[in-house]
Structure 1
Amino acid sequence: MLAMGRALMSQPKLLMLDEPSMGLSPIMMQKIMETIVELKAQGTTILLVEQNAQAALSLADHAHVMEVGEIKLSGSGQDLLHDENVRKTYLGED
């Protein structure tokens, strides 16, 4: 939270976030994701690297799914979120 606050003080046009939800409680993770949505709505471009695929894809205009450093899939966040292969392989759904 502190790192995010410091980054926002400079009013960046591009905000790069690496695993902002790592180690956070579910409530705090939700607050971080809500903040990202607000920043996006205000016009800030956000590059988000996140292992919580469900959260990341639900926020993303465009997304890449990587595996072992290689891009396996690309598309809109919503398309990938609803892709059967992504749901089974990366979201653990049947």
Structure 2
Amino acid sequence: MKEKHYCKCCLSQECYKDMANDYYFGNKIENYCDMLINVFNIKITTDNGQRNLICEECVSKLRDAAAFKRKVLDIQEAMRNRIGWESFAADLSK
């Protein structure tokens, strides 16, 4: 009997990628276990020796979430730098 494989994120049976492996996307290397930890603080555990698989739909959603997190963090950093600079400049003009 053929073993069924499921996506560890959505339980889809359309799984193509092992989450522990590194994959190239464009000019970047992605590791989906690492991305889940970095974006959501979720650690996927292995149960009963099954592989940790992820489907293409969840990979796409994970990429979008990672990009959104990066965008928000970049904007927050830019705002902190700008506010810090404006505060410094205001202090100098006093």
Q: TM-score, normalised by structure 2?
A: 0.24
Higher RCO (CA-CA < 8 Å; seq separation 6+): 2
Between structures 1 and 2, the one with greater helix share: 2
Between structures 1 and 2, the one with greater strand share: 1
Larger radius of gyration: 2
